[in-house]
Amino acid sequence: MATKLIGERIKRKEDPRLITGTASYVDDIKLPNVHHVAFLRSIYGHAKINKIDVSEARKLPGVVAVLTHDDIKGVLKPMPCVGGVPDMHTPEHYPLSGGKVRFVGEAIAAVVANDRYVARDALDLINVDYEPLPVVVDMEKALEKGAPLLYEEYGENRGFTWKISGGDIDKAFQEADRVVKLRLVNQRVAPIPLETRAVLAQYQDRGVEGELTVWTSTQIPHGIRTSIAGMLNLPEHRVRVIAPEVGGGFGCKVDFYGEEVLIPYLAMKLKVPVKWVEGRRENIQATDHGRDQINYIEAAVKNDGTVVGLRVKVLADMGAYYQLLSPVIPTLTGLMMCGPYKISNVSMEVLGVFTNKMATDAYRGAGRPEATYLLERTMDAIAAELNLDPVEVRMKNFIQPNEFPYKTATGLVYDSGNYQAALQKALDHVGYTKLREEQKKLREQGQYVGIGISSYVEICAFGPSAATATGGWESATVRIEPTGKVTVLTGSSPHGQGQETTFAQIVADGLGLTMEDITVQHGDTAVVQYGIGTFGSRATAVGGTAVYLALQKVKEKATKFAAHMLKVDSKGLVFRDGKIFPENNPEKSVTLTEVALAAYLAKDLPPDTEPGLVATAFYEPKNFTFPFGTHIAVVDIDPETGQIKFRRYVAVDDCGNIINMLTVHGQVHGGIAQGLGQALYEEVVYDENGQLLTGSFMDYCIPKAHHLPKFELDYTVTPTNVNPLGVKGVGEAGTIGSTPAVVNAVIDALAHLGVRNIDMPLKPEKIWKTIKEHAPKKGPIIVA
């Protein structure tokens, strides 16, 4: 008990219910007389809707309502986009589209029936008169003169232009010894949470005091409540949103979708509970996609490998509409374009482009993986151009440990870092020098071995409100119950990150209790004070700090009560083993249970105190945090098949102080798996007609366990001074560091053939074709 819990490897408290199947997701919630919704979605990438005839669908027994755009226009407001940039074109879109559709999968009608299968059958009875229009799915073509327009009123498919710069970029290029250029494609991917989106709504009509309860699979329950109340013109205190167990989010559930307002609207309109559970094909069609950038990179370098300037043009595919944060995501690429390097002169121009595809928005890393990818591919390209070791180029350009806090050319202030230590630890772990010698020998034998390095820094713990569209603070309440047990209410909304465990560790440590004494609650807006949610690796660095600050408040009050009961000075009291006592006299003690009961009975209160032991804290950090690390991948490539096989995968991450190594391991494991998925397998593909070709798991490939290497994980610890816990965040580190490490390894394996770039995903057929194109041509066979 006396041992500190922070830093211990403690199994997650939430896991037993998850692995035994006793957890409740939205679709597990059963309400009497529940009705089901099915959506008719566009089969065209771009078309006018001349007419929708729903008369036959309405006649089907069991159908209680069929809605189209005409039924909600003037009743529901357009969907919000809070992530704006200056002077952008902002088209309106509604939960149900009318007049025109702009991507395959766009919802145009909703059927409500007393049976899920009846609702689905009714969709086949809806007759839509489409007038197909020209389609554009290629960003570069969308910007060309004469391209089909998604919005004629704008006269272009450019949604916005966003620029950032620092230093003197023109002078840097004038003084450079050479310029290294790259064109990189960061392909479109789908987040693929295990649980698709789902919404259940119930309206209890009590006249002016009616209450709307909405269960939804989301990362931001309070934000959803505010949005629903705003769109339905309801007082917010009459809307309750519950995020039950959430089966994966990965950023795509940091959004407010049309279904999340339409289902509650139907529940209110029909006076019955209404449920919708997204199918997997719907999920790939109509849930946010991620990435989808084209980067045009120019690096101004000296002959010794020093990078003196970096100029990047980014095309960012917005899809057909903006979702909640769509325009903000590529701006994070710009903010982080310096990475861990001391690049004093930078310039980035981002063009947001409309295409006939589903919208892009946050996906694990959200703009930062794109920044790391373009930087780390560029560093390897510079090394190849100058015939230098990739390690040498990175070490030469790293920010030095004694330069922190460090202000980047894009205006960010990095809190702390030691990038050299993380890289060196990874090199030592993988045996880099020996590996290079082995690689040279194997190449002489015709074997293709590649070593890929990726050093990254990411922006996390989104805090300063001026810099984030969603607000930057977080809230927590710590309540010691009369029995001495503790309830923690967090505005964060964990869904796999493990905060039910780590927040309990923080509180148990502070009060000298066991993990079993602490209960962490989240996700219910009727129970938890207003909070922001979980995304951007912020839950522990911001939400955990709010817990810590609330704990200090309640602990200070408990100290006063204990001192009063013990008739000692409050200074020097210690919380340990469920007791409170003077540090120099452990025998004179009172239990926390006795203190708590006295605080609530309030028969003998200390002067100037109130009954109870509860405190709430709202915490907004003064800066972001900046975790970092280095990942190294070692691969073999079979030149006859293009197959890639992992020899080693080493990751050294630095997320500041570590509360629970097991949860950190879990986050890094999952992140690497998703990063490898993008590097090797995953890609959302539309054809020239806007048809989604990867609309199911038959065509959209995600990595399975046997595709992944053994992860060799290690850490350095460089605490931040931004928060009192010294933690930085780790939820997205694996995704950010892994993708370029794998791609760099594959390119390195083929470098002796003259290969300088292959765009992701690096599928075997693509590798095989590249080898055949670059391999030395064999002469004719001469028979003597």
Mean pLDDT of 103-115: 98
Lowest mean pLDDT among 73-87, 186-200, 412-426, 457-471: 457-471
Longest C-alpha distance within the chain, in Å? 111
Contact of 334 with 350, CB cutoff 8 Å = yes
Give pLDDT tens digits for 471-522.
589 999 999 999 999 999 999 999 999 999 999 999 999 999 999 999 999 9
DSSP 62: T
- From the list 733, 472, 724, the residue with the least C-alpha distance to 626 is 733
- From the list 121, 127, 109, 115, the residue with the least C-alpha distance to 62 is 115
CB atoms within 10 A of CB 209: 10
The domains spanning 31-133+195-247+253-286 and 372-457+623-774 adopt the same CATH topology: no
Report the residue count for the chain.
Answer: 784
DSSP for 26-63 reads GGG---TT-EEEEEEE-SSSSEEEEEEE-HHHHHSTTE
Contact of 44 with 97, CB cutoff 8 Å = no
Structure tokens at 21: 């199947």
Tokens 């930087």 correspond to 375
| Phi and psi torsions of 44, nearest 5° | -115, 150
Tokens 């927040």 correspond to 503
Mean pLDDT of 409-437: 98
At residue 784, the pLDDT reads: 54
Please, what is the average pLDDT of the chain?
96
Determine the Cα angle at 770 with ends 765 and 771, to 5°: 100
Distance between CA atoms of residues 541 and 728, nearest Å: 6
Q: Which residues of 236-271 are buried (b: 16+ CB within 10 A; e: fewer)?
A: eebbbbbbbbbbbbbbbbbbbbbbbbbbbbbbbeee
Say what the pTM is.
0.96
At residue 709, the pLDDT reads: 97
Distance between CA atoms of residues 320 and 133, nearest Å: 14
At residue 58, the pLDDT reads: 98
CB atoms within 10 A of CB 679: 25
At residue 471, the pLDDT reads: 57
635 pLDDT above the threshold of 90:
yes
470 pLDDT above the threshold of 60:
no
Give pLDDT tens digits for 204-256.
988 778 999 999 999 999 999 999 999 999 999 999 999 999 999 999 999 99
At residue 582, the pLDDT reads: 97
Distance between CA atoms of residues 295 and 293, nearest Å: 6
Cα-based torsion angle of the residue sequence 44, 47, 49, 55 in order, rounded to the nearest 10 degrees: -10
For the chain, percent of residues with pLDDT exceeding 90 = 96
At residue 266, the pLDDT reads: 98
At residue 62, the pLDDT reads: 98
Please say whether the dihedral angle defined by the alpha carbons of residues 240, 245, 247 and 250, taken in this order, is positive or negative. Answer: positive
CATH node for 473-619: 3.30.365.10
777 pLDDT above the threshold of 80:
no
At residue 3, the pLDDT reads: 55
Rg (CA), the chain: 28
Contact of 96 with 74, CB cutoff 8 Å = no
776 pLDDT above the threshold of 90:
no
Distance between CA atoms of residues 627 and 436, nearest Å: 28
CATH node for 31-133+195-247+253-286: 3.90.1170.50
634 pLDDT above the threshold of 80:
yes
Structure tokens at 624: 């972001």
371 pLDDT above the threshold of 90:
yes
Contact of 90 with 84, CB cutoff 8 Å = yes
The DSSP element (H or E) to which 598 belongs, if any, is: helix 592-601
CATH architecture of the domain formed by 372-457+623-774: 2-Layer Sandwich (3.30)
Distance between CA atoms of residues 727 and 659, nearest Å: 8
Give pLDDT tens digits for 536-588.
999 999 999 999 999 999 999 999 999 999 999 999 999 999 999 999 999 99
The DSSP element (H or E) to which 634 belongs, if any, is: strand 628-637
Query: Which residues have C-beta within 8 Å of that of residue 149, sequence separation ≥ 6?
Result: 155, 156, 157
Contact of 330 with 370, CB cutoff 8 Å = yes
Domain ranges for the chain? 31-133+195-247+253-286, 372-457+623-774, 473-619
Rounded to 5, what percent of the chain is helix, strand, coil?
30, 25, 45
At residue 775, the pLDDT reads: 85
Mean pLDDT of 714-723: 98
| Phi and psi torsions of 209, nearest 5° | -105, 20
At residue 469, the pLDDT reads: 47
Reported confidence tier of residue 677, pLDDT bands at 50, 70, 90: very high
2 pLDDT above the threshold of 50:
no
At residue 323, the pLDDT reads: 97
Q: How crowded is the C-beta side of 181, counted as CA atoms within 13 Å?
A: 4
Mean pLDDT of 117-143: 98
Structure tokens at 647: 């020899």
779 pLDDT above the threshold of 80:
no
Determine the Cα angle at 200 with ends 195 and 205, to 5°: 165
Q: Is 184 helix (H, G, I), strand (E, B) or coil?
A: strand
Query: Which residues have C-beta within 8 Å of that of residue 25, sequence separation ≥ 6?
Result: 195, 198, 217, 244, 245, 246, 247
At residue 76, the pLDDT reads: 96
Structure tokens at 635: 């691969």
Distance between CA atoms of residues 621 and 467, nearest Å: 12
